[in-house]
Amino acid sequence: MLGNFFKPKWQHADATVRIQALDTLAGDSIELIRLAQTDPHSAVRMEAVVRLTHLPTLVQLGHSPGSIGERARQRLVGLASTDHHHDHLLADVFHWLNNPALLRSIARDPTRGVKLRHQAIGVIADQELLFSIASNDTSREIQYLAAQHLDDIEKLKELEKTHGKNNKRLRQLIKERLEQEQQQQQRQADIEKLCAEAENLGKNSSWEQDKTRLKVMQQSWRSLSRNASATQQQRFTDAGEDFNQRLATHEQQEASLRPLRDQHQQLLAAASELLRQLQHTPEQQSLGRLDATLAGLQQQWDQQGKLPAAEQDKLDTIWAQRQQEISHLRNAMAEDLQALETLTRLSAAADNLKNRQQPIHSKDILTLQSEWTGSKRPRTLRNSLGELEQQFHRSISTLNSRLEKQKRQQENALQELRVSLKKLEGHLETEQYGEAIEIHKALTVDLKETDLPGKDLAFFQRRLQMLTPFLREIQDWRRWGTDQARRQLIETAEHLREEDEIDPQERARKIQGLREEWRKLAQMEPAQQRLLWKTFDSTVSAAYEPSKQYFAEQGQQREANLKQRQAICNELETLDNTTDWDNADWRALQAQANQLRKQWKDAGAVSHKAWGSINTRFKAAMDALETHFKVERTRNWQEREQLVMQARALLESADTSQAIEQAKALQAAWQITLGSRPSDEQRLWKQFREPMDTLFARARDERQQQQQERDARAAEETRQADAKRQQELERQQQQLAELDNLAAQSLLNKQVETSANEQIANRSSGELLCLQLEILLGVETPTEFQQSRMKYQVAQLPQAMLSRQQQHDPALDALPLLKQWYALGGIPEAALANQTARIEKIRQALQPPLAQ
């Protein structure tokens, strides 16, 4: 109600009145700003904008669409030259400042904001102004920024002289710009050089090199062409096209001469190849074929067409040189072939002597070596010469070795004959006539088969002839003695046949001994043993019958044992063939194989003849099974080794709980299909369990540590909450005490004598404060002030919406207002009582959140 009496014109309902009242408002007043921002009439807002001098508001309005935004931006440009306090805002809307004079003024004014000056300098093209700023401004940053936009190298050099020592960045900028200028000059020099080189292409007749050079130059030109002028580009293009035309003419001429040139080159190549063959493989050539080839090549060369004179002369010179070299080698080869033929004949003679079966003599070897040394050696056929020399020396070496061996054999044979003759004479002296007779026979045979010198052969023949009559007489007496020994053996066999208590094996051994004695007697006198042989053979056969029956029974038992072992092999082989090895029960298979192995060990003996094959079969069957077992054992071992590696890798995991789960999965995956040696199994299991135990121990430690940390955090949170509650309680108590003090002081203030006008003003201020507090804290307003509350809320609606968006704490906003009320002076008594009651309700509404 009171607000209607004091309502200013700028709040009048008529827009015309509000426009007229704008002149009474300051350019940066809150009222003018609020009108420009929120007045419902656009004409009022437009006029308010024209009168505004508050740049932050103009920046805000300048972002608005339509005429308001345009008018605000125009007003902003007009004020920008005089307002130096909001350059940071102008920098943010620099694109609005499109006035050249304004930008020049900002750029050279050292009192303007640095950022704004940077932007202004960046859009100025006036080189003189930029040079002036760079020369005269006291800011090194501004100097550097202005110099960045200078294009005149001379001005930059002048700046370097005046400010280079004091401004490091400026000095570096000028250095870089000078380097860029030098690079540009170097590029121009390179362009000129490329153009000149392109114009000289093809002038020295190096067409292929120049053709390649043009491609290289074109690649270089691509990187330089953007810096070349139109004249330079045309110059390079014309030079390349001219060279390509002249190159095409040259290539056409070359194409017409190419077949003839190729024919000449082919003939030269054939001559060079023939020369190479004569130099490296002359052995593969023959004189007749070589002469024919030379004549054919010369005829073809003479029949060829002629090339240009200079080129033809050069080729003819090369051809003549090749022919001369070939002829020289041909003549040398003819001489060498004759020498080689002689050496070949000598080598063949050495081979024939080496292959002769009769004894050789040293004079034959010396004759061959003498002829070989005196023969001429070829100079070109070195490979053939080397092979012949190796062959001849091998033959001579073999002959010498054979001659040495032959001498040693003769010496050994002569020595053996002497020893045998001495033994013969010794046996005769000691009356060992049987041994003497055998040595006499052996000596007679050896003399016929041994090649001895004639003198030595005659000596031995005379000695044997002298002993022959005496040895014949001894042989007659020996024949009678052997017959007596044979009859004794027959008598022993008769006694053995009649004896029944002897062990069959012992009987068999004795019979074998009798037969061995008979054999020895037969060797001494073979002719005499036939008379008593049938009697001896029938007697020992009858004596052997008991042993024969015993061995037959043993043989039957061995056959049974053999069948048992064959059955074991059959079962092993069937097990191997019928088992699905991809889905095998390894433990059962291993148990079955071990059982069969035990049965094999318990089985009886078999014949020696059958043992080798059946034992080989058993080993092969067991090896076949063991092959599968070994593969599975290796696979299972490697699989568990991988589990060990995975278990060790779990120790590196940062997530212990996840590592524990993975460890449990690894434990479940640990399966032994076929075990290895117990010591190895224990070692592998220990390697697997160690990281597991470490991991589970770490998990226990981490759980304990986490529990301790949780307990510590809970204790700390409890302590902090208690401290916070204590601080908040102290703060609330302090605020309540402060409010109580203010209330007491307020009572004294309001009892002080105050003029009627001041009391009325204090009453109005107090009512407004009470109204604001009641609205802010949601306290009911007395009936007589309900209409005033509604008008106030409508007037403050925009501000209330902004406050709601910012979500202020009402209690915190209420405290300053409550303190203002306490600070008021005297109020009329009736109004004081009313406001005091309202303040108490406000205190009650404010006190609970403070006391919590």
Per-residue pLDDT of 685-731, as tens digits, reads 888 888 888 888 888 888 888 888 888 888 888 888 888 888 877 77
* DSSP assignment string, 159-200: HHHHHTTT-HHHHHHHHHHHHHHHHHHHHHHHHHHHHHHHHT
Q: What is the mean pLDDT of residues 265-279?
A: 81
Residue 530 burial (10 A CB sphere; 0-12, 13-18, 19+):
exposed
SS3 of 687, please?
helix
Where do the domains of the chain lie?
1-80, 87-163, 188-258, 319-343+359-452, 752-851
Q: Are 746 and 822 in contact (CB under 8 A)?
A: yes
Token pair of 346 as six digits = 């000598």
Q: What is the mean pLDDT of residues 511-540?
A: 64
In the chain, pLDDT over 90 holds for what percent of residues?
0
Q: What's CA 67's distance to the chain center, in Å?
A: 68
Task: Tell me which of 482 and 392 has the higher pLDDT.
Answer: 392
Task: Tell me which of 314 and 152 has the higher pLDDT.
Answer: 314
The C-alpha atoms of residue 143 and residue 722 are separated, in whole angstroms, by 60
The C-alpha atoms of residue 116 and residue 86 are separated, in whole angstroms, by 10
Looking at this protein, which amino acid is placed at residue 526?
Answer: P
Q: End-to-end alpha-carbon separation of the chain, Å?
A: 38
Query: How distant, in Å, are the alpha carbons of 192, 329, 338, 548 from that of 333?
Result: 63, 6, 9, 86
What digits encode the pLDDT tens for the residues 361-387? 777 778 877 877 777 777 666 666 777
pTM for this predicted structure:
0.32
Question: What pLDDT, on a 0 to 100 scale, did the predictor assign at position 805?
Answer: 47
What digits encode the pLDDT tens for the residues 165-223? 777 777 777 787 787 778 888 888 888 888 888 888 877 777 778 878 888 888 888 87
Token pair of 219 as six digits = 């690649």
The C-alpha atoms of residue 19 and residue 43 are separated, in whole angstroms, by 8
Question: What pLDDT, on a 0 to 100 scale, did the predictor assign at position 4?
Answer: 42
Kindly compute the dihedral angle of the four CA atoms of residues 56, 57, 63, 65, in this order, to the nearest 10 degrees.
-170
The C-alpha atoms of residue 685 and residue 647 are separated, in whole angstroms, by 12
Comparing CA positions, the residue from 420, 494, 476 lying closest to residue 450 is 420
Please name the helix (run of DSSP H) or strand (run of DSSP E) that holds residue 295, with its range, or none: helix 287-303
Using the predicted structure, report yes or no on whether residue 2 has a pLDDT greater than 50.
Answer: no
Q: What's CA 414's distance to the chain center, in Å?
A: 79
SS3 of 319, please?
helix
The C-alpha atoms of residue 217 and residue 210 are separated, in whole angstroms, by 10
Looking at this protein, which amino acid is placed at residue 815?
Answer: L
Please name the helix (run of DSSP H) or strand (run of DSSP E) that holds residue 5, with its range, or none: helix 2-5
Comparing CA positions, the residue from 228, 203, 224, 226 lying closest to residue 213 is 203
